[in-house]
Chain A
Protein backbone atom coordinates (compact mmCIF):
# COMPACT_ATOMS: atom_id res chain seq x y z
CA UNK A 1 0.00 0.00 0.00
CA UNK A 2 1.28 3.40 -0.93
CA UNK A 3 0.21 6.40 1.13
CA UNK A 4 1.10 9.67 -0.46
CA UNK A 5 0.82 12.85 1.54
CA UNK A 6 -1.13 14.38 -1.31
CA UNK A 7 -3.88 11.81 -0.77
CA UNK A 8 -4.75 13.40 2.53
CA UNK A 9 -5.37 16.68 0.75
CA UNK A 10 -7.83 14.92 -1.52
CA UNK A 11 -9.58 13.46 1.52
CA UNK A 12 -9.76 16.80 3.29
CA UNK A 13 -13.55 17.27 2.88
CA UNK A 14 -14.31 13.86 4.35
CA UNK A 15 -11.93 14.38 7.22
CA UNK A 16 -13.28 17.83 7.93
CA UNK A 17 -16.86 16.59 8.00
CA UNK A 18 -15.86 13.79 10.40
CA UNK A 19 -14.29 16.34 12.71
CA UNK A 20 -17.37 18.53 12.34
CA UNK A 21 -19.65 15.67 13.35
CA UNK A 22 -17.56 14.95 16.42
CA UNK A 23 -17.51 18.62 17.36
CA UNK A 24 -21.28 18.94 17.10
CA UNK A 25 -21.75 15.76 19.09
CA UNK A 26 -19.44 17.02 21.80
CA UNK A 27 -21.14 20.40 21.96
CA UNK A 28 -24.53 18.73 22.00
CA UNK A 29 -23.73 16.71 25.12
CA UNK A 30 -22.31 19.81 26.75
CA UNK A 31 -25.18 22.17 25.96
CA UNK A 32 -28.34 20.08 25.79
CA UNK A 33 -31.57 21.38 24.41
CA UNK A 34 -30.91 25.02 25.25
CA UNK A 35 -28.42 25.78 22.50
CA UNK A 36 -30.08 23.66 19.89
CA UNK A 37 -30.69 26.38 17.36
CA UNK A 38 -27.06 27.39 17.62
CA UNK A 39 -26.02 23.81 16.90
CA UNK A 40 -28.28 23.74 13.87
CA UNK A 41 -26.69 26.87 12.47
CA UNK A 42 -23.26 25.53 13.33
CA UNK A 43 -23.92 22.28 11.47
CA UNK A 44 -25.16 24.19 8.45
CA UNK A 45 -22.05 26.32 8.54
CA UNK A 46 -19.83 23.25 8.84
CA UNK A 47 -21.53 21.60 5.86
CA UNK A 48 -21.05 24.74 3.82
CA UNK A 49 -17.38 24.86 4.80
CA UNK A 50 -17.03 21.21 3.79
CA UNK A 51 -18.54 22.07 0.43
CA UNK A 52 -16.10 24.96 0.10
CA UNK A 53 -13.17 22.67 0.88
CA UNK A 54 -14.51 20.21 -1.65
CA UNK A 55 -14.77 22.97 -4.23
CA UNK A 56 -11.21 24.01 -3.38
CA UNK A 57 -10.00 20.43 -3.85
CA UNK A 58 -11.94 20.11 -7.07
CA UNK A 59 -10.55 23.32 -8.45
CA UNK A 60 -6.97 22.57 -7.47
CA UNK A 61 -4.69 22.69 -10.51
CA UNK A 62 -3.30 19.36 -11.66
CA UNK A 63 -5.63 17.53 -9.32
CA UNK A 64 -4.80 13.86 -9.00
CA UNK A 65 -7.39 11.69 -10.70
CA UNK A 66 -7.28 8.01 -9.91
CA UNK A 67 -6.94 5.65 -6.97
CA UNK A 68 -5.77 7.05 -3.68
CA UNK A 69 -4.78 5.58 -0.32
CA UNK A 70 -3.47 2.43 -1.87
CA UNK A 71 -6.50 1.93 -4.06
CA UNK A 72 -9.05 1.98 -1.27
CA UNK A 73 -10.64 5.13 -2.60
CA UNK A 74 -10.68 6.93 -5.88
CA UNK A 75 -10.64 10.61 -6.65
CA UNK A 76 -12.52 11.43 -9.81
CA UNK A 77 -15.25 13.68 -11.11
CA UNK A 78 -17.90 11.04 -10.59
CA UNK A 79 -17.12 10.98 -6.87
CA UNK A 80 -16.93 14.76 -6.78
CA UNK A 81 -20.38 15.11 -8.33
CA UNK A 82 -21.92 12.77 -5.81
CA UNK A 83 -20.06 14.39 -2.94
CA UNK A 84 -21.45 17.75 -3.93
CA UNK A 85 -24.92 16.30 -4.23
CA UNK A 86 -24.62 14.63 -0.83
CA UNK A 87 -23.48 17.84 0.80
CA UNK A 88 -26.41 19.57 -0.87
CA UNK A 89 -28.80 16.97 0.51
CA UNK A 90 -27.24 17.41 3.97
CA UNK A 91 -27.67 21.14 3.73
CA UNK A 92 -31.28 20.84 2.62
CA UNK A 93 -31.98 18.33 5.39
CA UNK A 94 -30.48 20.51 8.07
CA UNK A 95 -32.39 23.55 6.85
CA UNK A 96 -35.63 21.61 6.67
CA UNK A 97 -35.11 20.12 10.14
CA UNK A 98 -34.56 23.33 12.08
CA UNK A 99 -38.10 24.14 13.10
CA UNK A 100 -39.21 20.59 13.00
CA UNK A 101 -36.69 19.15 15.42
CA UNK A 102 -36.70 22.26 17.54
CA UNK A 103 -40.39 21.93 18.18
CA UNK A 104 -40.12 18.28 19.20
CA UNK A 105 -39.44 17.40 22.84
CA UNK A 106 -36.20 15.57 22.12
CA UNK A 107 -32.69 16.83 22.43
CA UNK A 108 -31.77 18.18 19.01
CA UNK A 109 -28.00 18.30 19.14
CA UNK A 110 -27.40 14.62 18.53
CA UNK A 111 -29.76 14.82 15.59
CA UNK A 112 -27.49 17.22 13.76
CA UNK A 113 -24.42 15.19 14.65
CA UNK A 114 -26.08 12.06 13.29
CA UNK A 115 -26.97 13.80 10.05
CA UNK A 116 -23.34 14.81 9.68
CA UNK A 117 -22.18 11.25 10.38
CA UNK A 118 -24.42 9.82 7.69
CA UNK A 119 -22.84 12.43 5.46
CA UNK A 120 -19.36 11.17 6.32
CA UNK A 121 -20.38 7.63 5.47
CA UNK A 122 -21.84 8.70 2.15
CA UNK A 123 -18.87 10.84 1.16
CA UNK A 124 -16.59 7.84 1.64
CA UNK A 125 -19.07 5.52 -0.01
CA UNK A 126 -19.20 7.34 -3.33
CA UNK A 127 -15.41 7.52 -3.46
CA UNK A 128 -14.97 3.85 -2.61
CA UNK A 129 -12.84 1.88 -5.01
CA UNK A 130 -12.67 -1.32 -3.06
CA UNK A 131 -15.55 -3.49 -1.96
CA UNK A 132 -14.36 -3.45 1.66
CA UNK A 133 -14.04 0.31 1.89
CA UNK A 134 -17.43 0.65 0.24
CA UNK A 135 -18.95 -1.73 2.74
CA UNK A 136 -17.47 0.02 5.76
CA UNK A 137 -18.60 3.41 4.50
CA UNK A 138 -22.07 2.04 3.81
CA UNK A 139 -22.33 0.72 7.34
CA UNK A 140 -21.23 4.07 8.78
CA UNK A 141 -24.02 5.73 6.87
CA UNK A 142 -26.56 3.03 7.69
CA UNK A 143 -25.95 2.93 11.46
CA UNK A 144 -26.42 6.67 11.79
CA UNK A 145 -29.53 6.59 9.64
CA UNK A 146 -31.18 3.83 11.71
CA UNK A 147 -30.97 6.12 14.71
CA UNK A 148 -32.30 9.06 12.71
CA UNK A 149 -35.36 7.06 11.63
CA UNK A 150 -36.25 6.48 15.27
CA UNK A 151 -35.31 9.91 16.49
CA UNK A 152 -38.79 10.75 17.71
CA UNK A 153 -38.52 7.98 20.23
CA UNK A 154 -41.73 8.82 22.03
CA UNK A 155 -43.78 8.15 18.94
CA UNK A 156 -44.62 4.57 18.24
CA UNK A 157 -44.59 4.99 14.47
CA UNK A 158 -41.10 6.40 14.56
CA UNK A 159 -39.66 3.64 16.75
CA UNK A 160 -41.42 1.02 14.68
CA UNK A 161 -39.95 2.53 11.52
CA UNK A 162 -36.49 2.52 13.06
CA UNK A 163 -36.88 -1.08 14.14
CA UNK A 164 -37.92 -2.22 10.69
CA UNK A 165 -35.25 -0.18 9.03
CA UNK A 166 -32.59 -1.50 11.37
CA UNK A 167 -33.41 -5.19 11.16
CA UNK A 168 -33.95 -5.23 7.42
CA UNK A 169 -31.02 -2.93 6.81
CA UNK A 170 -28.72 -5.10 8.87
CA UNK A 171 -30.03 -8.12 7.05
CA UNK A 172 -29.40 -6.55 3.65
CA UNK A 173 -25.90 -5.55 4.74
CA UNK A 174 -25.39 -9.19 5.62
CA UNK A 175 -26.51 -10.19 2.15
CA UNK A 176 -24.17 -7.65 0.65
CA UNK A 177 -21.29 -8.87 2.75
CA UNK A 178 -22.01 -12.45 1.83
CA UNK A 179 -21.97 -11.60 -1.83
CA UNK A 180 -18.75 -9.72 -1.31
CA UNK A 181 -17.14 -12.71 0.36
CA UNK A 182 -18.18 -14.98 -2.48
CA UNK A 183 -16.67 -12.61 -5.02
CA UNK A 184 -13.51 -12.49 -2.95
CA UNK A 185 -13.50 -16.25 -2.73
CA UNK A 186 -13.58 -16.60 -6.49
CA UNK A 187 -11.37 -13.69 -7.49
CA UNK A 188 -9.14 -13.19 -4.49
CA UNK A 189 -9.37 -9.46 -5.00
CA UNK A 190 -11.62 -6.71 -3.67
CA UNK A 191 -10.38 -3.61 -5.47
CA UNK A 192 -12.76 -2.73 -8.30
CA UNK A 193 -10.16 -2.24 -11.05
CA UNK A 194 -8.26 -5.34 -9.94
CA UNK A 195 -11.49 -7.32 -10.01
CA UNK A 196 -12.22 -6.09 -13.50
CA UNK A 197 -8.77 -7.09 -14.67
CA UNK A 198 -8.98 -10.48 -13.05
CA UNK A 199 -12.47 -11.27 -14.26
CA UNK A 200 -11.44 -10.37 -17.77
CA UNK A 201 -9.62 -13.67 -17.99
CA UNK A 202 -11.95 -15.91 -15.98
CA UNK A 203 -14.99 -17.77 -17.13
CA UNK A 204 -18.15 -17.10 -15.21
CA UNK A 205 -18.97 -19.59 -12.53
CA UNK A 206 -22.16 -20.04 -10.61
CA UNK A 207 -20.42 -19.06 -7.40
CA UNK A 208 -19.25 -15.78 -8.86
CA UNK A 209 -22.68 -15.03 -10.30
CA UNK A 210 -24.26 -15.77 -6.94
CA UNK A 211 -21.83 -13.33 -5.37
CA UNK A 212 -22.73 -10.64 -7.89
CA UNK A 213 -26.41 -11.37 -7.38
CA UNK A 214 -26.16 -10.98 -3.63
CA UNK A 215 -24.19 -7.76 -3.99
CA UNK A 216 -26.90 -6.52 -6.31
CA UNK A 217 -29.61 -7.54 -3.86
CA UNK A 218 -27.92 -5.62 -1.05
CA UNK A 219 -27.68 -2.48 -3.14
CA UNK A 220 -31.21 -2.81 -4.50
CA UNK A 221 -32.35 -2.81 -0.90
CA UNK A 222 -30.66 0.51 -0.32
CA UNK A 223 -32.26 2.13 -3.37
CA UNK A 224 -35.61 0.56 -2.47
CA UNK A 225 -36.19 -1.26 -5.74
CA UNK A 226 -38.93 -3.88 -6.07
CA UNK A 227 -38.83 -6.61 -4.68
CA UNK A 228 -36.74 -5.12 -1.86
CA UNK A 229 -38.97 -2.14 -1.33
CA UNK A 230 -41.52 -3.11 1.30
CA UNK A 231 -39.74 -1.43 4.17
CA UNK A 232 -39.89 1.92 2.39
CA UNK A 233 -43.49 3.09 2.88
CA UNK A 234 -43.51 2.18 6.57
CA UNK A 235 -40.15 3.77 7.27
CA UNK A 236 -40.96 6.89 5.25
CA UNK A 237 -44.29 7.24 6.96
CA UNK A 238 -42.95 6.68 10.45
CA UNK A 239 -39.70 8.61 10.40
CA UNK A 240 -39.72 12.34 11.15
CA UNK A 241 -40.53 14.04 7.84
CA UNK A 242 -37.18 15.82 7.33
CA UNK A 243 -35.50 12.47 7.89
CA UNK A 244 -37.84 10.91 5.35
CA UNK A 245 -36.93 13.61 2.86
CA UNK A 246 -33.29 12.91 3.57
CA UNK A 247 -33.71 9.13 3.20
CA UNK A 248 -35.45 9.57 -0.11
CA UNK A 249 -32.49 11.49 -1.47
CA UNK A 250 -29.15 11.15 0.35
CA UNK A 251 -28.65 7.42 0.94
CA UNK A 252 -30.18 6.71 -2.45
CA UNK A 253 -27.68 8.96 -4.16
CA UNK A 254 -24.84 7.15 -2.45
CA UNK A 255 -26.25 3.73 -3.20
CA UNK A 256 -26.68 4.66 -6.86
CA UNK A 257 -23.12 5.86 -7.04
CA UNK A 258 -21.92 2.53 -5.65
CA UNK A 259 -24.24 0.54 -7.89
CA UNK A 260 -23.13 2.40 -11.00
CA UNK A 261 -19.46 2.24 -10.12
CA UNK A 262 -19.34 -1.39 -9.04
CA UNK A 263 -21.26 -2.67 -12.01
CA UNK A 264 -19.63 -0.36 -14.49
CA UNK A 265 -16.05 -0.85 -13.34
CA UNK A 266 -15.90 -4.34 -11.91
CA UNK A 267 -18.68 -6.45 -13.42
CA UNK A 268 -19.12 -4.90 -16.86
CA UNK A 269 -18.00 -8.17 -18.42
CA UNK A 270 -20.98 -10.07 -17.08
CA UNK A 271 -23.43 -7.55 -18.39
CA UNK A 272 -25.39 -10.21 -20.22
CA UNK A 273 -26.02 -12.03 -16.94
CA UNK A 274 -27.05 -9.22 -14.64
CA UNK A 275 -28.48 -6.98 -17.38
CA UNK A 276 -31.71 -8.88 -17.78
CA UNK A 277 -32.18 -9.18 -14.04
CA UNK A 278 -31.72 -5.44 -13.60
CA UNK A 279 -34.12 -4.87 -16.49
CA UNK A 280 -36.77 -7.02 -14.85
CA UNK A 281 -36.22 -5.34 -11.50
CA UNK A 282 -36.48 -1.96 -13.17
CA UNK A 283 -39.74 -2.85 -14.93
CA UNK A 284 -41.22 -4.31 -11.76
CA UNK A 285 -40.13 -1.25 -9.78
CA UNK A 286 -41.64 1.22 -12.23
CA UNK A 287 -44.91 -0.68 -12.44
CA UNK A 288 -45.32 -1.56 -8.79
CA UNK A 289 -44.13 1.79 -7.48
CA UNK A 290 -46.55 3.74 -9.63
CA UNK A 291 -49.51 1.43 -9.22
CA UNK A 292 -49.12 1.22 -5.46
CA UNK A 293 -48.77 5.00 -5.26
CA UNK A 294 -52.14 5.27 -7.00
CA UNK A 295 -53.77 3.46 -4.10
CA UNK A 296 -52.35 5.61 -1.30
CA UNK A 297 -54.22 8.35 0.43
CA UNK A 298 -51.40 9.17 2.82
CA UNK A 299 -49.11 11.71 1.21
CA UNK A 300 -45.91 10.43 2.78
CA UNK A 301 -46.68 6.89 1.68
CA UNK A 302 -47.57 8.16 -1.77
CA UNK A 303 -44.27 9.95 -2.03
CA UNK A 304 -42.55 6.82 -0.71
CA UNK A 305 -44.00 4.74 -3.51
CA UNK A 306 -43.24 7.51 -5.96
CA UNK A 307 -39.60 7.41 -4.90
CA UNK A 308 -39.66 3.64 -5.37
CA UNK A 309 -40.90 4.23 -8.90
CA UNK A 310 -38.12 6.74 -9.49
CA UNK A 311 -35.57 4.15 -8.40
CA UNK A 312 -36.90 2.04 -11.25
CA UNK A 313 -36.37 4.84 -13.76
CA UNK A 314 -32.84 5.44 -12.57
CA UNK A 315 -32.05 1.74 -13.04
CA UNK A 316 -32.58 2.29 -16.76
CA UNK A 317 -29.37 4.28 -16.71
CA UNK A 318 -27.49 1.42 -15.07
CA UNK A 319 -28.67 -0.79 -17.91
CA UNK A 320 -27.51 1.66 -20.50
CA UNK A 321 -24.09 2.06 -18.89
CA UNK A 322 -22.32 1.15 -22.08
CA UNK A 323 -23.99 3.88 -24.12
CA UNK A 324 -22.94 7.50 -24.00
CA UNK A 325 -26.20 8.35 -22.27
CA UNK A 326 -26.43 5.79 -19.50
CA UNK A 327 -24.18 6.98 -16.70
CA UNK A 328 -24.57 10.55 -17.83
CA UNK A 329 -28.32 10.01 -17.64
CA UNK A 330 -28.12 8.72 -14.09
CA UNK A 331 -26.23 11.83 -13.05
CA UNK A 332 -28.74 14.12 -14.75
CA UNK A 333 -31.65 12.20 -13.32
CA UNK A 334 -30.32 12.08 -9.80
CA UNK A 335 -29.64 15.79 -9.91
CA UNK A 336 -33.21 16.40 -11.02
CA UNK A 337 -34.55 13.89 -8.53
CA UNK A 338 -32.73 15.48 -5.62
CA UNK A 339 -34.27 18.84 -6.33
CA UNK A 340 -37.79 17.78 -7.12
CA UNK A 341 -38.21 15.08 -4.51
CA UNK A 342 -36.71 17.07 -1.69
CA UNK A 343 -38.77 20.04 -2.80
CA UNK A 344 -41.98 18.05 -2.62
CA UNK A 345 -41.10 16.79 0.85
CA UNK A 346 -40.16 20.31 1.92
CA UNK A 347 -43.72 21.41 1.24
CA UNK A 348 -45.06 18.49 3.25
CA UNK A 349 -42.80 19.66 6.09
CA UNK A 350 -44.07 23.19 5.56
CA UNK A 351 -47.63 22.05 6.09
CA UNK A 352 -46.64 19.97 9.09
CA UNK A 353 -44.95 22.89 10.78
CA UNK A 354 -48.16 24.84 10.23
CA UNK A 355 -50.12 22.33 12.23
CA UNK A 356 -51.54 20.24 9.42
CA UNK A 357 -50.81 16.57 9.72
CA UNK A 358 -50.02 16.53 5.98
CA UNK A 359 -50.95 12.90 6.09
CA UNK A 360 -53.88 12.71 3.74
CA UNK A 361 -54.15 14.41 0.40
CA UNK A 362 -57.04 16.37 1.88
CA UNK A 363 -54.57 18.36 3.97
CA UNK A 364 -53.52 20.03 0.76
CA UNK A 365 -57.08 21.17 0.07
CA UNK A 366 -57.26 24.77 -0.95
CA UNK A 367 -53.56 25.44 -0.45
CA UNK A 368 -53.71 27.75 -3.46
CA UNK A 369 -56.05 30.01 -1.52
CA UNK A 370 -53.98 30.02 1.60
CA UNK A 371 -50.57 30.38 0.03
CA UNK A 372 -50.48 30.70 -3.74
CA UNK A 373 -46.69 30.65 -4.01
CA UNK A 374 -46.40 27.42 -2.06
CA UNK A 375 -49.06 25.82 -4.25
CA UNK A 376 -47.40 26.91 -7.49
CA UNK A 377 -43.99 25.71 -6.32
CA UNK A 378 -45.47 22.37 -5.29
CA UNK A 379 -47.04 22.16 -8.73
CA UNK A 380 -43.62 22.63 -10.31
CA UNK A 381 -42.23 19.77 -8.23
CA UNK A 382 -45.17 17.55 -9.09
CA UNK A 383 -44.85 18.31 -12.79
CA UNK A 384 -41.18 17.54 -12.61
CA UNK A 385 -41.78 14.28 -10.76
CA UNK A 386 -44.26 13.33 -13.43
CA UNK A 387 -41.75 14.20 -16.12
CA UNK A 388 -43.65 16.99 -17.84
CA UNK A 389 -41.46 19.48 -19.71
CA UNK A 390 -39.96 22.01 -19.24
CA UNK A 391 -38.79 20.74 -15.88
CA UNK A 392 -35.72 18.89 -14.67
CA UNK A 393 -37.67 15.65 -14.36
CA UNK A 394 -38.35 15.62 -18.08
CA UNK A 395 -34.73 16.16 -19.03
CA UNK A 396 -33.67 13.41 -16.64
CA UNK A 397 -36.23 10.93 -17.90
CA UNK A 398 -35.38 11.83 -21.44
CA UNK A 399 -31.78 10.78 -20.89
CA UNK A 400 -32.70 7.55 -19.18
CA UNK A 401 -35.19 6.52 -21.83
CA UNK A 402 -32.70 7.37 -24.53
CA UNK A 403 -30.06 5.26 -22.81
CA UNK A 404 -32.40 2.30 -22.42
CA UNK A 405 -33.55 2.47 -26.03
CA UNK A 406 -29.99 2.65 -27.24
CA UNK A 407 -28.98 -0.24 -24.99
CA UNK A 408 -31.66 -2.37 -26.64
CA UNK A 409 -34.53 -2.35 -24.16
CA UNK A 410 -37.38 -0.72 -26.10
CA UNK A 411 -39.99 -2.66 -24.11
CA UNK A 412 -38.59 -1.18 -20.94
CA UNK A 413 -38.87 2.31 -22.40
CA UNK A 414 -42.51 1.66 -23.24
CA UNK A 415 -43.13 0.49 -19.67
CA UNK A 416 -41.36 3.57 -18.37
CA UNK A 417 -43.31 5.95 -20.56
CA UNK A 418 -46.67 4.41 -19.76
CA UNK A 419 -46.02 4.26 -16.04
CA UNK A 420 -44.95 7.87 -16.02
CA UNK A 421 -48.25 8.69 -17.69
CA UNK A 422 -49.98 6.76 -14.91
CA UNK A 423 -48.01 8.68 -12.31
CA UNK A 424 -49.75 11.88 -13.43
CA UNK A 425 -52.85 10.54 -11.82
CA UNK A 426 -51.59 10.50 -8.26
CA UNK A 427 -49.35 13.54 -8.52
CA UNK A 428 -52.25 15.51 -9.85
CA UNK A 429 -54.46 14.40 -7.03
CA UNK A 430 -52.35 16.67 -4.90
CA UNK A 431 -52.45 19.38 -7.55
CA UNK A 432 -56.22 19.06 -7.77
CA UNK A 433 -56.54 19.28 -4.00
CA UNK A 434 -54.40 22.40 -3.91
CA UNK A 435 -56.10 24.28 -6.71
CA UNK A 436 -59.59 22.91 -7.17
CA UNK A 437 -60.81 22.66 -3.63
CA UNK A 438 -62.54 25.66 -2.17
CA UNK A 439 -61.62 24.81 1.40
CA UNK A 440 -60.76 28.09 3.01
CA UNK A 441 -58.41 28.67 5.87
CA UNK A 442 -56.02 31.13 7.36
CA UNK A 443 -53.22 32.34 5.16
CA UNK A 444 -49.99 30.46 5.75
CA UNK A 445 -46.78 32.33 6.32
CA UNK A 446 -43.39 31.15 5.21
CA UNK A 447 -40.63 30.22 7.56
CA UNK A 448 -37.15 31.32 6.55
CA UNK A 449 -35.14 28.11 6.63
CA UNK A 450 -37.76 26.14 4.79
CA UNK A 451 -38.16 28.88 2.23
CA UNK A 452 -34.46 28.58 1.50
CA UNK A 453 -34.90 24.84 0.89
CA UNK A 454 -37.84 25.37 -1.40
CA UNK A 455 -36.10 28.14 -3.32
CA UNK A 456 -32.99 26.01 -3.87
CA UNK A 457 -35.08 23.05 -5.03
CA UNK A 458 -37.37 25.08 -7.28
CA UNK A 459 -34.47 26.94 -8.85
CA UNK A 460 -32.68 23.66 -9.50
CA UNK A 461 -35.77 22.05 -10.97
CA UNK A 462 -36.42 24.91 -13.34
CA UNK A 463 -32.82 25.65 -14.33
CA UNK A 464 -32.12 22.04 -15.21
CA UNK A 465 -35.43 21.97 -17.05
CA UNK A 466 -35.20 25.16 -19.07
CA UNK A 467 -31.51 25.86 -19.58
CA UNK A 468 -29.79 22.54 -19.00
CA UNK A 469 -26.82 22.99 -21.32
CA UNK A 470 -24.23 24.15 -18.79
CA UNK A 471 -25.31 21.56 -16.25
CA UNK A 472 -25.24 18.80 -18.85
CA UNK A 473 -21.77 19.74 -19.96
CA UNK A 474 -20.49 19.64 -16.39
CA UNK A 475 -22.17 16.32 -15.76
CA UNK A 476 -20.72 14.80 -18.89
CA UNK A 477 -17.28 15.39 -17.42
CA UNK A 478 -18.38 13.48 -14.32
CA UNK A 479 -19.01 10.14 -15.98
CA UNK A 480 -16.62 7.68 -14.35
CA UNK A 481 -13.65 6.11 -16.01
CA UNK A 482 -11.89 2.84 -15.23
CA UNK A 483 -8.72 3.31 -13.24
Chain B
Protein backbone atom coordinates (compact mmCIF):
# COMPACT_ATOMS: atom_id res chain seq x y z
CA UNK B 1 0.00 0.00 0.00
CA UNK B 2 1.28 3.39 -0.96
CA UNK B 3 0.29 5.22 2.16
CA UNK B 4 1.86 2.66 4.49
CA UNK B 5 4.95 2.72 2.32
CA UNK B 6 5.30 6.46 2.54
CA UNK B 7 4.61 6.38 6.26
CA UNK B 8 7.33 3.78 6.60
CA UNK B 9 9.64 6.11 4.73
CA UNK B 10 8.67 8.90 7.05
CA UNK B 11 9.32 6.73 10.10
CA UNK B 12 12.69 5.71 8.76
CA UNK B 13 13.65 9.30 8.10
CA UNK B 14 12.56 10.25 11.60
CA UNK B 15 14.78 7.53 13.00
CA UNK B 16 17.69 8.85 10.98
CA UNK B 17 17.17 12.41 12.12
CA UNK B 18 16.67 11.36 15.72
CA UNK B 19 19.88 9.39 15.62
CA UNK B 20 21.77 12.61 15.12
CA UNK B 21 19.52 14.94 17.05
CA UNK B 22 19.16 13.00 20.31
CA UNK B 23 22.84 12.62 21.18
CA UNK B 24 23.43 16.27 20.30
CA UNK B 25 20.50 17.33 22.45
CA UNK B 26 21.71 15.04 25.22
CA UNK B 27 25.19 16.43 24.92
CA UNK B 28 23.99 20.03 25.15
CA UNK B 29 21.68 19.26 28.03
CA UNK B 30 24.47 17.44 29.85
CA UNK B 31 26.85 20.31 29.18
CA UNK B 32 24.34 22.75 30.60
CA UNK B 33 23.79 20.61 33.70
CA UNK B 34 27.53 20.11 34.07
CA UNK B 35 28.22 23.82 33.96
CA UNK B 36 25.31 24.56 36.24
CA UNK B 37 26.48 22.09 38.88
CA UNK B 38 30.15 22.57 38.18
CA UNK B 39 30.82 18.90 37.44
CA UNK B 40 33.09 19.35 34.46
CA UNK B 41 32.77 17.61 31.10
CA UNK B 42 31.48 14.21 32.24
CA UNK B 43 27.74 15.04 32.32
CA UNK B 44 27.83 16.14 28.69
CA UNK B 45 29.18 12.77 27.63
CA UNK B 46 26.70 10.98 29.81
CA UNK B 47 23.99 13.09 28.19
CA UNK B 48 25.19 12.18 24.73
CA UNK B 49 25.27 8.50 25.64
CA UNK B 50 21.81 8.65 27.15
CA UNK B 51 20.53 10.52 24.10
CA UNK B 52 21.99 7.90 21.86
CA UNK B 53 20.66 5.02 23.88
CA UNK B 54 17.37 6.14 25.28
CA UNK B 55 16.15 8.20 22.37
CA UNK B 56 17.76 6.98 19.17
CA UNK B 57 18.05 3.30 19.94
CA UNK B 58 14.80 3.14 21.76
CA UNK B 59 12.94 4.84 18.96
CA UNK B 60 14.41 2.42 16.48
CA UNK B 61 13.52 -0.51 18.72
CA UNK B 62 9.91 0.62 18.99
CA UNK B 63 9.79 1.12 15.26
CA UNK B 64 11.06 -2.39 14.57
CA UNK B 65 8.67 -3.84 17.11
CA UNK B 66 5.76 -2.06 15.43
CA UNK B 67 6.73 -3.01 11.91
CA UNK B 68 7.27 -6.67 12.69
CA UNK B 69 3.83 -7.00 14.29
Contacts and interface: CB of A to CB of B under 8 A. Distances in A.
B46 A280 contact: yes
6 contacts: A164-B64, A168-B60, A217-B53, A227-B50, A230-B58, A280-B46
B68 A230 contact: no
Contacts of A214: 52
A160 B64 CA distance: 9
A273 B49 contact: no
Interface in B5-19: 19
Given A160-B68, A175-B52, A217-B49, A273 B42 contact: yes
Contacts of A163: 64, 67-68
B68 A159 contact: yes
B32 interface: no
Task: For chain B, give the interface size range.
Answer: 20 to 34
A230 B61 contact: yes
Q: Which of B41, B42, B67 has the most CB of A within 10 A?
A: B42
Contact of A277 (B19, B45, B57): B45
B41 A273 contact: yes
Contacts of A359: none
A167 B61 CA distance: 8
Interface of B: 19, 41-42, 45-46, 48-50, 52-54, 57-58, 60-61, 64-65, 67-69
B68 A276 contact: no
Contacts of B69: 160
Nearest to A161: B68
Given A159-B68, A160-B68, A167 B54 contact: no
Contacts of B57: 168, 171-172, 221, 227-228, 230
A147 to B, nearest CB: 16
Given A213-B49, A217-B53, A231 B68 contact: no
A210 B30 CA distance: 14
A139 interface: no
Contact of A227 (B41, B45, B54, B67): B54
Interface residues of A, number: 26
A26 B44 CA distance: 51
A463 interface: no
Interface string A332-376: 000000000000000000000000000000000000000000000
A209 interface: yes
Nearest to B27: A210
Contacts of B49: 213, 216-217, 227, 277, 281
Contacts of A159: 68
A409 to B, nearest CB: 14
Interface in A197-254: 209-210, 213-214, 216-217, 221, 227-228, 230-231, 234
Contacts of A160: 65, 68-69
Interface in A146-205: 159-160, 163-164, 167-168, 171-172, 175
Nearest to B19: A171
Q: Which of B46, B58, B65, B68 has the most CB of A within 10 A?
A: B68
Contacts of B61: 164, 168, 230-231
Contacts of B46: 276-277, 280
A382 B16 CA distance: 42
Contacts of B45: 209, 213, 273, 277
A295 to B, nearest CB: 19
B38 to A, nearest CB: 15
Q: Which of A163, A171, A210, A273 has the most CB of B within 10 A?
A: A171
A279 B50 CA distance: 14
B31 to A, nearest CB: 10
Nearest to B15: A171
Nearest to A174: B19
Given A159-B68, A277-B45, A228 B53 contact: yes
A168 B52 CA distance: 12
B60 A167 contact: yes
